[in-house]
Amino acid sequence: MTMAMADRLTAGLLFLLGLALLVGGYTMDRLEIRQIHPASIPGLVPIILGLLLALCAALLFLSSFKTDDQRRALVLADGSWARLGLTAAICTLYALGLVGWLPYFWATFVFATCFALLFSFPPAGARRAQVIAVLAALALGAGVALGSSLLFEKLFLVRLP
Amino acid sequence: MSGLGDLITGLGTLATPEMLFHAAWATLLGIVVGSLPGLTATMGVALMTTLTYSLESTTAILVLVCMYVGAIYGGSRSAILLNIPGTPASAATSLDGYPLAKAGRAGYAMGLATAGSALGTLAGVVMLVLVAPPLAEAALNFGSFEFFWLAVFGILISGQLTADTSPLKGYIAGLLGLAVAMIGSEGIHAHVRFNMGLQDLNAGIALIPAMVGAFGFAEVLTAMWNRAGELAVKKDKSDRTIPDLVDLWRYKLTIARSGLIGTLVGIIPGVGEDIGAWASYAAARKTSKEKEKFGHGSHEGLIAAETGNSAVVPGSLIPAITLAVPGSASSAVLIAALFIHGIRPGPLIMIEQPDFIGLISAMVVIATLFMAFYGLTLTKAFVQVLKVPYAYLMPVVFVLCVIGTFALSQRIFDIWIMVFFGLVGFVLRQMKYPMAPLVLGIILGDLLDKSLRRGLTLSDGELAPFFTRPVSAGFVALILLSIAMNVPVVRRLALAPVRWIGARLDA
């Protein structure tokens, strides 16, 4: 996707967000029952922000039609989708799923070991290299899980999730 | 000269074995964090905030300052050796540092970078102790009207100067940050806004989880996304590392100018070390007698870039301590950390803790001394650090992002916030939206909101005081000028006198 197209899509989303802020601020409770000064209503700044965000979104949309190198440049094109997808998936799974479901030590051990294995295991490599990669990943997982558990639980007195 | 007296008193306070021990490991860790491409100073300070919250306040702040100073300097290691800036602040360093390394003078380049960084930081510290106390006293006269415009100016100028492509994206990032700050209980009537039915949002979105996400998780994703994620390993041909004093003396004007530029850039809200380095580099190149050497291993260019980025560190502390307006993204985290440790940055700092400016300046000086020591002695050890593969480094970083975020208030919800900001932060970065204005918006949102509504209440709904009070009028003029400078015709007209003077000087 080109930057121009990405800007147009973002402009649409930002415009909607601006409208939401505007409407949310306008319909917000004005606390008349507490007899506050009308100029200090809680929705005032969200209304202003909503207007400004919608205005900036409109300007972004208009500027996306300029034909220059910036707008022709590709977005999310110069990296590895596989590495990004795997990283995002495994990190999100760990943070939102494993932590709180498994005891912290085991959640962290599983995460760190899997992460290291995913990105360091040589599928086409020699058996020796594969064994070293597995052992290194296991050692990393155990080290990170144990080290961070001890640091936070024993030293900082945090009740781990 | 009471500022310098406070600095000496601060040095006396910190000259204990325990404090020096903490400074030693924190600076070393900072250099390691900064030298690893993918880990930035802001991320280091944010993670360290979560790791030091149980320490005594002076010790915790010392650790954070040492991490900040060390990380900004550490970026020069990989910039020189691998042509990959460890932090964005070191991008200008690689222009001349890497050619020097290719010519087999990596050690000398690192020595020059170390000297430049140390001198730049010390120049900034002098400005910090001299400028911060009178600025804090002047800010005591600020009312709601002035603070409103200060917040607007901070976000606007940060958006304008940190945007890669168009200032519009910087402004949008700032507005998004302000919108985030609107979530939760507001500061005047304690009315809960935009909590979307979630009780956890009643207190708003805490800064540290948001920053750990935007600078920690987003950087993990960026590092794994980049094809250049695997570190290139270049054979180290380190020669001597102690720079010639003659070399440093020859560039004394460049060092002084870069120190001044870096400090001034640091004072501008939300404009970080990378801009300080580029501005110093550009100024040095413009006035150099050896322009042709820039980009091909110029000692002067390397010194200018490193002096410039390091001077931003103390410079950014000036508005952070006196106005609670961060001069850079890293100092935004420092402000949050100061609040955690019971220190209230802002104009009242000179009344509540009059010795704090001297104390934090002393922390910067101690960090600089350790930085210089490590920089000149551990050159070869740092080369080894750069070889750590991302497959082993990034899970460690992410685990610290998760558990550090949780540890602050022991809420699983904060981990969700961190992940959300990490994912959104990654996408925004890819689309060239700067993160500094976003963070500044989150920090200044409350100040802006309260100042506007309180000001309007004081003036009984009248807008006039926002424009007629002298300081407010000055801010309004600056804001209008900043926006108008985006129009090419206005920019040409405004810069015409500067160009004319420049042409006369050249002639």
CA distance B383 to chain A (A): 21
Nearest in space to B135 (alpha carbons), one of B353, B352, B323, B326: B323
How far from B89 is each of A91, A94, B138, B210, B486, CA to CA, in Å? 27, 31, 31, 22, 25
Residue corresponding to tokens 């700092």:
B349
B98 to B30, B38, B236, B278, B346: CA distances (angstroms): 22, 18, 12, 16, 41
Boundaries of every domain in chain B: 2-468, 472-507
Å from A131 to nearest chain B CA? 16
A37 at B interface, C-beta within 8 A: yes
Q: How confident is the model at residue B65 (pLDDT cuts 50, 70, 90)?
A: very high
pLDDT, residue B506, reads: 58
Q: How confident is the model at residue B502 (pLDDT cuts 50, 70, 90)?
A: low
Helices (H), chain A: 3-26, 44-63, 69-72, 81-93, 104-120, 127-149
Contact B313, B319 (CB under 8 A): no
pLDDT at B1 over 60: no
Closest in A39, A63, A156 to B453, CB measured: A39
Q: Is the pLDDT of residue B505 over 60?
A: no
**Spatial distance between the Cα atoms of B505 and B507, rounded to a whole number of angstroms:** 5
Residue B294 confidence (pLDDT) above 50 = yes
Which of B71-80, B330-339, B444-453 tops mean pLDDT? B444-453
Partner-chain residue, chosen from B179, B193, B396, that has the shortest CB–CB distance to A53: B179
State the amino acid at position A151 in one-letter form.
L
Give the residue-averaged pLDDT of A104-121. Answer: 95
**ipTM of the predicted structure?**
0.94
Measured between CB atoms, does B456 come within 8 Å of chain A?
A: yes
pLDDT digits (tens, 9 = 90+) for B328-385: 888 888 888 888 888 888 888 888 888 899 999 999 999 999 999 998 888 777 767 7
Name the region of B83 (left: φ>0; alpha: ψ -120 to 50; beta: rest).
left
Substitution target from B403, B413, B419, B466 for chain A, most A beta carbons within 10 A: B403
**Total Cβ atoms within 10 A of residue B228:** 12
The predicted model gives B387-400 an average pLDDT of: 87
- Biggest CA–CA distance in chain B, Å, is 70
Alpha-carbon torsion (B359, B361, B365, B368), positive or negative = positive
> Strand pairing partners for B236?
none
Asked if B169 is an interface residue toward chain A (Cβ–Cβ < 8 A), one would say yes
Query: Sign of the CA dihedral A45, A50, A51, A53?
Result: positive
What are the residue boundaries of the structural domains of chain A, listed by start?
3-72, 81-155
Q: Which of B182, B340, B397, B447 should one mutate to test binding to chain A, selecting the residue with the greatest count of A CBs within 10 A?
A: B182
CA distance A70 to A75: 10
Which residues of B fall within a CB distance of 8 Å from A79? 225-227
pLDDT digit string, tens, across residues B297-329: 888 899 999 999 899 989 999 998 988 888 888
**Do B78 and B278 meet the contact criterion of CB atoms below 8 Å apart?**
no
Question: Hey, which residues 387-446 in chain B have their CB within 8 Å of chain A?
Answer: 389-392, 394-396, 398-400, 402-403, 406-407, 410, 412, 415-416, 418-419, 422-423, 430-432
- Residues of A in Cβ contact (< 8 Å) with B402: 94-95, 99
> Do A49 and B179 make contact, defined as CB atoms within 8 angstroms?
yes
In this structure, how many other beta carbons lie within 10 angstroms of the beta carbon of residue B187? Answer: 17
What's residue A102's pLDDT?
Answer: 93
The reply to whether A70 touches chain B by the CB within 8 Å rule is yes
Task: Please state the rounded mean pLDDT for residues B78-91.
Answer: 76
Q: How many CB pairs (< 8 A) connect A and B?
A: 179
Query: For B223, which residue in chain A has the nearest alpha carbon?
Result: A84
CA distance B503 to chain A (A): 31
Q: Does B452 touch chain A (CB under 8 A)?
A: yes
Q: What is the DSSP letter of B202?
A: T
